[in-house]
Structure 1
């Protein structure tokens, strides 16, 4: 007994499309004007007549050809190659890449840090002078 499904199992294709649309059997049944058990039987059917297939396609919001030509491999390939490069779709392409030299940035941050310490040191020296004047005045 083979556990593999045949590549042209129409019920399985309907089931996969329904799952990809995040639709439950009950929702599909309601869209078709039938019950969940009928959808379950339909999804377990290897062959489905064209009239019923058209009804299912309409309820799923896809074409009959989409159901007939559906393959898991095609969907996987689509999602594996899909990327949202909407930022890079304009005439400037990949111009938004930021380039900087890390060593230059490190030197810049070091210099800024050094200036801050010098200001802190000057502030502390001024504070000491002020406190010494207060002590002498008493």
Structure 2
């Protein structure tokens, strides 16, 4: 008895198809309660991409978008045109033969230009704080 196992590899392209469907639904239902269902599914799919392809340059772009959407539920604040821009960006990235560091940087800057805060977890330093250098 010869049993062969077939392993199906998950590709960024396949996961992107799922991402695009949810992004298009978010675009369509922005501001409506049903949008939460698509946002939840979108965020789960993004984390699946991170788990399956952690070192793929494309994943870095998707996770920058994830952070912009996830932090404080900011997905609620973005509008249909912004989601449309993300769809176009992800489609163009996936259609490239190779994604290099320059492509990743450019894509993240495009997200920023679309209004997405890709670094929402930053720390603010208060310059007014006194230091304890010479307390007496």
Q: State the TM-score, normalized to the length of structure 1.
A: 0.29
Structure number with higher helix proportion: 1
Q: Which has the larger radius of gyration?
A: 1
User: Greater RCO between the two (CA within 8 Å, min separation 6)?
Assistant: 2
